Structure 1
Amino acid sequence: MQGAADQRCKWFRQTVAHRKLATNCPWKKTSQFSSPGEMRRFLKWMGEQIAGGAAEEITAPVDQQVISGERWFRQVPSDRRWRLVPADGPLAAGFWPIENSARQDPD
C-alpha cells in the first residue's frame, strides 16, 4: 500500500486540498492514458504544476522529431524535459521523460 504522500501526488486522484502540494510531487511516466477523461485530469494537473512554478511549457529542441499536437514541458526543480503525445497521434497518448535531459551538476 502506498503512503499518504504518494496518494496526494497522483494527478488522477488529486483533490482541491492537495493542490498546494502538487509542486513537490515527483512526475511519473505514463505510457498510455486509459481514457479522454484521464487525459483531461492530467492536463488540469499539469496546469496546476505550471501555475505553481514547478513546470513550464517549452518548445521542442530543433533536433527532435515532433508529432503534431505534441507538447513539451520542463520540470523546473530537476530541469528535466518531458513530452506529452496526444491521443490522435501515431503513438499511444502518453507522457514520458526525455532521456539525458536533466541538468548535470559539476563534480
Structure 2
Amino acid sequence: RGLLFVGRCLQVVLRHDEYRLAFIKVGGPSTLLKVLASGQVNFQIQYQLMFCLRLLPFNPKFAQKMNKLGVIPILADILSDSVREEVTRIILAVFRVSRKV
C-alpha cells in the first residue's frame, strides 16, 4: 500500500518542473527504474511509476539523460510481459516522449 501511495503522490508532484528538477537531482529516476526492473510490483504500481517516467522528459535536462539510464530496455521487458492495456499504453507514451527528445 505504501508504494501505491508514493506512486500517486509522485504522479501529482512531478507535473511541476521545480519538483521534477529536485527529483532528478536526488536520483529519483534511477530508483523508479530499479523498482520497475525488479518485476515485483503489480500493474497499478507499474502504471504509476511509468506515468512518472513519462513526465520527466518534459524537463530538457532529464530528456537528454533518459536513454543513458536504460529506460527503454526496462520498459520493453515490461511491455513484452504485460497483459494490461493501461500498462501497454503508458509504455508507448513514454517511448513516444523519449523519441521526440
Structure whose CA Rg is larger: 1
Normalised by the length of structure 1, the TM-score is: 0.41
Q: TM-score, normalised by structure 2?
A: 0.43
Query: Counting helix residues as a fraction of each chain, which structure ranks higher?
Result: 2
Question: Which structure would you say has the larger RCO, counting Cα contacts within 8 Å and 6 or more residues apart?
Answer: 2
Name whichever structure is richer in strand by fraction. Answer: 1
